[in-house]
């Protein structure tokens, strides 16, 4: 009993500057309950291990030593130095699962969700989390070779891996116990008994489905990416914004069917939250990435957009390698897929003019046809400080974009992001 109490007390302690990583991986049964023995990241440091600190597990891109805080370089690595190789630390084994299994990647929010006022300029959804998977990992894997390159269908980038999941960092339920309004509301709504792993906090999670065709007998590598940018103008310390990305690298031992890890059936309601998947994420397992994201509730915001240069993968991924333009996150909503891969576009007209709100853009005055990849890239180019109610023309010179503003009645800061309402032309 004393040992369990000590572990709970350790779990309750969270440094004020703590960030997040995948604490553990857990199998999800067909009813949405966690089952089996948890697995851990490469080179994992348990919180009960002597010498543990936040820095033993966090990995930041770009590093704090880089002068340009918005710059992500082609040489930046996906994994922390201690997670470069497929090795486990003592007491932190890999998760064992079969192909097609549902698993939860669990992490602590550390106040990033429940105390948003402590981090000005951050996106309302507290950032976006991605999971990529591969059977062909590389030592020294480059971040940009994976993030924004690998796609759900496996055809993106170098074709070695796939995008498995995109979710809000805030899963809509998790909390750190503190006096913040969000925390107190969730403590009441999502009550649970303190346990040795989480203490009284309730960890966040990202529920994913392993590929059904992944080969047994080999490790399957997962790259977890948390994109948590500071928007331009959101924090006076970073007037042009700041890129802030954290990753965790881990492997799953693929074995023949293990326990109750068949495909999902019916989620069991009113189950113990210490061992329960997120219902909306669980129900969306195996769906298209856009469906996973839209199905997920969040008490703070439904927006996935952020205001910092970064590459958000979608079914249609922009290719920036030859452009010299730093990408921006673009969330495409209310869209229909057609048989065409092109769209005609000349003007982009803002449909709202309220600085600080989500600004929806619509395509207007169709003339000329550009392939879909170029169109998404066009939307990813930073907007000017001044833009008019009538929109602008763009010559689609991606390396040197020029925006001809018709009027300057509204002002937005460079680098703001927008939700985009688009119907692809047929």
> What is the predicted pLDDT for the residue at 288?
81
Confidence of residue 42 (pLDDT cuts 50, 70, 90): very high
> What is the predicted pLDDT for the residue at 406?
28
How far apart are the C-alpha atoms of 163 and 161, rounded to whole Å?
7
C-alpha distances out from residue 207 to 59, 66, 191, 192, Å: 22, 33, 20, 20
Q: Is the domain of 141 the same as that of 238?
A: yes
Which of 167-176, 232-241, 382-391 is modeled with the greatest confidence? Answer: 167-176
> What is the predicted pLDDT for the residue at 51?
77
Taking 70 as the threshold, does the pLDDT of residue 317 lie above it? no
Q: Average pLDDT, stretch 348-375?
A: 35
Residue 233 lies in a domain: yes
Residue-wise pLDDT tens digits, 11-38: 333 333 568 999 999 999 999 999 999 9
Residue 325 lies in a domain: no
> What is the predicted pLDDT for the residue at 263?
53
Global confidence as pTM: 0.68
Q: Average pLDDT, stretch 230-252?
A: 94
How far apart are the C-alpha atoms of 401 and 392, rounded to whole Å?
12
Q: Is the domain of 262 the same as that of 352?
A: no
> What is the predicted pLDDT for the residue at 345?
34
Residue 109 lies in a domain: yes
Report the chain's mean pLDDT, rounded to a whole number.
72
How far apart are the C-alpha atoms of 209 and 127, rounded to whole Å?
21
Q: Is the domain of 175 the same as that of 30?
A: yes
Q: Is the domain of 262 the same as that of 339?
A: no
Taking 50 as the threshold, does the pLDDT of residue 9 lie above it? no
Q: Is the domain of 47 the same as that of 102?
A: yes
Taking 90 as the threshold, does the pLDDT of residue 174 lie above it? yes
Higher pLDDT, 378 or 202: 202
Among the residue ranges 78-87, 160-169, 385-394, the one predicted with the least confidence is 385-394
Closest CA to 314 of 327, 299, 301, 297: 327
> What is the predicted pLDDT for the residue at 259?
55
Among the residue ranges 162-171, 224-233, 332-341, 416-425, the one predicted with the least confidence is 416-425
Residue 51 lies in a domain: yes
Q: Is the domain of 219 the same as that of 291?
A: yes
Q: Is the domain of 351 the same as that of 228?
A: no
Higher pLDDT, 165 or 312: 165
Taking 50 as the threshold, does the pLDDT of residue 316 lie above it? no
Q: Average pLDDT, stretch 206-228?
A: 96
Taking 50 as the threshold, does the pLDDT of residue 159 lie above it? yes
> What is the predicted pLDDT for the residue at 262?
45
Residue-wise pLDDT tens digits, 262-302: 455 678 888 899 999 999 999 999 888 865 655 444 433 33
Q: Is the domain of 94 the same as that of 166?
A: yes
Residue 276 lies in a domain: yes
Last residue of a domain, one of 240, 269, 295: 295
Continuous segment of H or E residues that includes residue 3? helix 2-12
Q: Is the domain of 228 the same as that of 156?
A: yes
Taking 90 as the threshold, does the pLDDT of residue 102 lie above it? yes
Q: Average pLDDT, stretch 381-389?
A: 37
Among the residue ranges 111-115, 167-171, 266-270, 314-318, the one predicted with the least confidence is 314-318
Q: Average pLDDT, stretch 227-234?
A: 92
Q: Is the domain of 141 the same as that of 65?
A: yes
* Residues facing 130 on adjacent strands: 166, 225
Concatenate the DSSP letters of all residues of 308-371 into one string: SB-----SS----TTT-PPPB--EEES----S-SEEE-SEEEES---TTSPPEEEEES--SEEE
Confidence of residue 45 (pLDDT cuts 50, 70, 90): confident
> What is the predicted pLDDT for the residue at 49?
80
Q: Is the domain of 66 the same as that of 188?
A: yes
> What is the predicted pLDDT for the residue at 97?
97
Q: How many domains does the chain have?
A: 2
Q: Is the domain of 94 the same as that of 213?
A: yes
Closest CA to 326 of 144, 152, 168: 144
| Domain extent at residue 61 | 2-295
């Amino acid at each position: 009993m004393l040992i369990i109490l000590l572990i709970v007390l350790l779990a309750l302690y969270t440094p004020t500057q703590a960030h997040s990583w995948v604490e553990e991986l857990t199998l999800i049964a067909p009813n949405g309950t966690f089952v089996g023995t948890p697995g851990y990241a490469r080179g994992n440091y348990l919180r009960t291990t002597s010498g543990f600190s936040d820095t033993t597990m966090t990995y930041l891109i770009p590093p704090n030593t880089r002068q340009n805080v918005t710059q992500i370089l082609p040489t930046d690595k996906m994994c922390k130095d201690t997670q470069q190789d497929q090795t486990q630390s003592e007491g932190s084994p890999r998760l064992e699962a079969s192909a097609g299994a549902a698993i939860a990647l669990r992490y602590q929010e550390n106040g990033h969700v429940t105390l948003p006022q402590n981090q000005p300029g951050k996106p309302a959804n507290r950032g976006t989390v991605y999971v990529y998977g591969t059977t062909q990992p590389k030592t020294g894997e480059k971040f940009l070779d994976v993030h924004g390159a690998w796609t759900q269908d496996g055809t993106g980038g170098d074709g070695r891996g796939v995008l498995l999941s995109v979710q809000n960092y805030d899963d809509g339920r998790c909390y750190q116990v503190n006096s913040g309004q969000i925390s107190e509301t969730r403590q009441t709504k999502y009550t649970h008994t303190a346990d040795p792993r989480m203490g009284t906090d309730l960890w966040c999670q990202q529920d994913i489905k392993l590929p059904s065709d992944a080969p047994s007998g080999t490790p399957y590598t997962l790259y977890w990416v948390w994109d948590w940018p500071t928007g331009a103008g959101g924090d006076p310390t970073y007037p042009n914004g700041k890129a802030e990305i954290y990753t965790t690298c881990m492997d799953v031992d693929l074995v023949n069917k293990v326990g109750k890890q068949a495909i999902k059936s019916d989620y069991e309601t009113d189950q113990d939250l210490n061992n329960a998947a997120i219902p909306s994420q669980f129900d969306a397992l195996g769906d298209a990435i856009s469906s996973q994201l839209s199905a997920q509730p969040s008490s703070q915001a439904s927006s996935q957009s952020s205001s910092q240069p970064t590459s958000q993968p979608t079914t249609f991924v922009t290719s920036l390698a030859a452009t010299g333009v730093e990408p921006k996150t673009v969330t495409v909503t209310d869209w229909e897929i057609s048989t065409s891969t092109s769209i005609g576009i000349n003007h982009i007209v803002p449909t709202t003019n309220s600085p600080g709100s989500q600004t929806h853009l619509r395509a207007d005055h169709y003339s000329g046809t550009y392939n879909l990849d170029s169109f998404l890239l066009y939307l990813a180019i930073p907007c000017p400080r001044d833009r008019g109610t009538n929109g602008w023309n763009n010559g689609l010179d991606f390396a040197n974009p020029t925006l001809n503003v018709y009027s300057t009645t509204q002002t937005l800061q460079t680098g703001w992001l927008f939700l985009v309402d688009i119907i692809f032309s047929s």
